[in-house]
Amino acid sequence: MNTVFQRTSVLKNCSTHYCPGCGHGIAHRLLAEVVDELNIQDRTIGIAPVGCAVLAYNYLDVDMIEVAHGRAPAVATGMKRTNPDKIIFSYQGDGDLAAIGTAEIIHAAHRAERITVIFINNAVFGMTGGQMAPTTMLGQITATTQQGRNPSNGQGYPLQVSEILALLPGTVYVERCALSGVPGIKRTKAAMKHAFGLQMDDAPGLSLVEILSPCPTYWRMSPAKAMKWIEEEMCKAFPIARLKG
Amino acid sequence: MAGKIVIDTERCKGCGLCVVVCPKKSIVISKESNKNGYFPAQKTDGDCIGCAQCAIICPEGIIQVCRDQMERIRIVAAPEKHSASHLIEEKA
């Protein structure tokens, strides 16, 4: 018997604090596998967000820093400009990147910063109790949209960050993937690997991988149903596509 | 059995994603809880083929997969040996 799959050493050997079935655990593992396979563990610096993944530095065995809410691309800019040989990535949720940090991500992309952004989109604010996020879909029921998100109630439309960033000349690679099932997870890993590879080749711009991730707790679903819901509902509002690069 | 999985049941949170993706239905949720109070996934005596889908989808990354490479190679090699032309020759 040969071992064909085991936990990578870049992922620390400890339990996570995430809810059962949360997509963050899968995304962390993919990130660790990519860093391991590209052999960049000693020169990678990660930036943890504010949100559910705030303790990401406890799980990934790379140098990491925790920054103010939404300001990860701004800090990444400074780190990349002072240490151009380092591989800098930020790991941000939709509350971090698409709400409070919209200005930072748009201007980091606009300045063509050579960083990689991993954007976890689960359509709710997971950490604070499942309130409506900018990425919440129309009709989706959350703690603050009890009747479903409705633009005529002044609740607006879902913000499609990847499409916006793909329009900017400062981005080199934008792709949206989903963690719904094994093929989607494999595709996500390939996208992450490509994004890191571009930064290693010093591609002139920002690379972003948006990942549609399940939040079974605040979607009020079982983990298996949440995976199905991504495919059936979320992919309609956020189509899976390689938007640029 | 072509494959074997090892689940770290003490760290499993019982989300059941591995149970759903297993093509051979050889993983079930245990009836006994672990020290954290979750009902963990548990391997049954079913026929594991070592496809590693459970390990790929596991959010905790606690499934290790082993596969009998020799058996897999034999399964893949078998149709080539009995290819159409070979069978025609045999018949003639």
| pLDDT tens digits, one per residue of A173-187 | 999 999 999 999 999
Instruction: Quote the CA–CA distance of A235 and B60 in Å, as a whole number.
Output: 25
Note the pLDDT of residue B90.
46
Mean pLDDT throughout A17-36? 95
Nearest CA in chain B to A10: B61
Contacts of A181 in chain B (CB under 8 A): 21, 57
- pLDDT above 70: percentage of residues in chain B: 73
CB < 8 Å from B in window 9-28 of A? 11, 15-16, 18-26, 28
Instruction: Please tell me the number of Cα atoms within 13 Å of A21 on its side-chain side.
Output: 25
CATH number assigned to the domain with residue range A24-244, chosen from the 4 options 3.40.50.720, 3.30.70.1070, 3.90.1150.10, 3.40.50.970: 3.40.50.970
Contacts of A26 in chain B (CB under 8 A): 57-59
CA distance B5 to chain A (A): 9
CA distance B58 to chain A (A): 7
Which candidate, A111, A94, A114, places its Cα nearest to that of A197? A114
Q: In what order do the strands lie in the sheet with B3-7?
A: A2-5, B63-67, B3-7
The ipTM estimated for the assembled molecules is 0.90
Contacts of A22 in chain B (CB under 8 A): 59
Per-residue pLDDT tens over the stretch A28-43: 999 999 999 999 999 9
Q: Inter-chain contact B16–A224, Cβ cutoff 8 Å?
A: yes
Per-residue pLDDT tens over the stretch A113-151: 999 999 999 999 999 999 999 999 999 999 999 999 999
CB < 8 Å from B in window 114-173 of A? none
Instruction: Quote the CA–CA distance of A72 and A57 in Å, as a whole number.
Output: 14
A93, A126 contact by CB (below 8 A):
yes
Which candidate, A36, A87, A90, A30, places its Cα nearest to that of A65? A90
- pLDDT above 90: percentage of residues in chain A: 96
pLDDT over threshold 60, residue A154: yes
Contacts of B16 in chain A (CB under 8 A): 21, 222-224
Which candidate, A217, A218, A209, places its Cα nearest to that of A245? A209
Collect all residues with Cβ–Cβ distance below 8 Å to A190 and sequence separation of at least 6: none
Q: Inter-chain contact A227–B17, Cβ cutoff 8 Å?
A: yes
Domain interval for residue B8: 3-90
Query: Is the model more confident about B87 or about A89?
Result: A89
pLDDT band at A84 (very low <50, low <70, confident <90, very high): very high
Note the pLDDT of residue A16.
94
- Residue B37: CB atoms within 10 A of its CB come to 8
Instruction: Quote the CA–CA distance of B53 and A146 in Å, as a whole number.
Output: 36
- pLDDT above 70: percentage of residues in chain A: 100
Q: Is A45 within 8 Å of chain B by CB?
A: no
Contacts of A4 in chain B (CB under 8 A): 50, 52, 65-67
pLDDT band at A2 (very low <50, low <70, confident <90, very high): confident
Q: Tell me the three state secondary structure of residue A212.
A: strand
pLDDT over threshold 80, residue A158: yes
Binding-site residues on chain B for chain A (CB distance < 8 A):
4, 11, 13-17, 19-21, 36, 38, 50, 52-53, 55-69
- What residue segments make up the domains of chain A, in order of their start? 24-244
Nearest CA in chain A to B14: A20
Looking at every residue in chain B, the average pLDDT score rounds to 80
Per-residue pLDDT tens over the stretch A165-224: 999 999 999 999 999 999 999 999 999 999 999 999 999 999 999 999 999 999 999 999
Counting the structural domains of chain B, the total is 1
Phi-psi region of B50 (alpha: psi -120 to 50; beta: other; left: phi over 0): left
The model carries a pTM of 0.90
DSSP string, A128-145: TTSEE-TTPPTT---SS-
User: What are the distances in angstroms from CA B19 to CA A203, A228, B44, B47?
Assistant: 41, 14, 11, 14
Note the pLDDT of residue B70.
55
Which segments of chain B have a pLDDT < 70?
A: 1, 69-92
* Interface with chain A: mutation pick from B19, B57, B68, highest number of A CBs within 10 Å: B57
Q: Is A214 within 8 Å of chain B by CB?
A: no
